[in-house]
Amino acid sequence: MAQAHGRAGGIHLAVLDVYPAPTRELIRRRLPPEWTCAFAEGYEDEQQHAVLGDADVAFANWYGVDARALAAARRLRLIHKLGAGVDKIDHDACRSHGVRLARIAGGNATPVAEHTIMLMLAALRRLPEIEARSRAGEWFKEEARVLQRQLSGRRVGLVGMGAIGQAVARRLAGFEVEIVYHDPVRLGPDRERELAATYLELDDLLRTADIVSLHLPLLPATRGLLGAERIRDLKDGAVVVNCARGGLVDEDALAEALRSGKVLAAGLDTFREEPPVGSPLLSLPNTALTAHVAGATFDNFGHMVDRAVANTGAFLRGEGIPPGDLVL
């Protein structure tokens, strides 16, 4: 049964993702006192539909909202994603049911940027393998010297230069790297100077970067962006980092390139299927893998809830949601 917090009149919120007690309490503390809310107890249809039935507003994070869920929502007016990516929410179904959709553009830029650089370093230094062997009592400094590479002196190619790409660029400033980038919308010259970033066409970036880091949404135009042909064209010994969406990358082609040494290492937080059961990437020693947690810090989640509440309040008062956050 869904857990409810109050149930008087007024605005009723459905929280569609399954959160532990500390996160539920964080959400409760940030809601206006006149709101009530119910938390989903699982991701099965009946569990989701139970909390959506009487909801005016829904907060979603990992849960994918489809047409069946929207059909069960009798009063729903707004879905607010507690994050930036909205590819798991059925846009056509939202339109047909008259439900608006909002997100938090750039809301997780700081934790994702930090995680991206962590994965760059972890992949270059072969951290998972080094740590596992160190915990097992091995002492192998000279072998480790052959395995490991440093970040300093590398050309880092950022594919996508929105809020997260720019946050990564700013944090790379102290690592003595060259930053190149590609984005469908080129930055202005002042911003390029601020970030010390040089624009390149995509294929030129992929051919010349020592590290390729992806920061794009998953759209029809970007699905499979780093496919087999482009992976073959990467610089020999390149490192691939993906904290964006797994569908941007051909995982089978990447796994083959990692086995052959064409790609030195990969740091991945997102996968084609999640969880990535049976993925060929799981067993490779030259991968640093995390479970789509780049944006999942407790302190930043509080900021995202605050922004979602503010946007929702503005929507309910008829004031409108800021254009960057309003999707539909």
Q: Of 228, 234, 227, give the one whose Cα is nearest residue 263.
A: 234
Q: Of the listed 292, 303, 317, 319, which one is catalytic?
A: 292
Cα angle vertex 262, ends 261, 268, to 5°? 85
Q: Of the listed 115, 149, 182, 245, which one is catalytic?
A: 245
Q: Of 126, 193, 112, give the one whose Cα is nearest residue 160.
A: 112
| Residue 173 CB neighbours (<10 A) | 12
How far is residue 305 from each of residues 33, 227, 318, measured CA to CA in Å? 15, 36, 20
Query: Which phi and psi (to 5°) does residue 315 adopt?
Result: -60, -45
Could you confirm whether 245 is annotated as catalytic?
Answer: yes
Strand-strand pairing, 178-182 and 155-159: parallel
Q: Whole-angstrom Cα distance, residue 41 to residue 16? A: 9
For helices 298-316 and 21-30, what crossing angle results, to 10°? Answer: 40
127 Cβ neighbours under 8 A, 6+ residues apart: 121, 288
The DSSP letter of residue 249 is B
Q: Whole-angstrom Cα distance, residue 131 to residue 140? A: 11
Q: Of the listed 25, 138, 229, 274, which one is catalytic?
A: 274
Query: Which phi and psi (to 5°) does residue 70 adopt?
Result: -70, -35
**Which residues are known to be catalytic?**
245, 274, 292
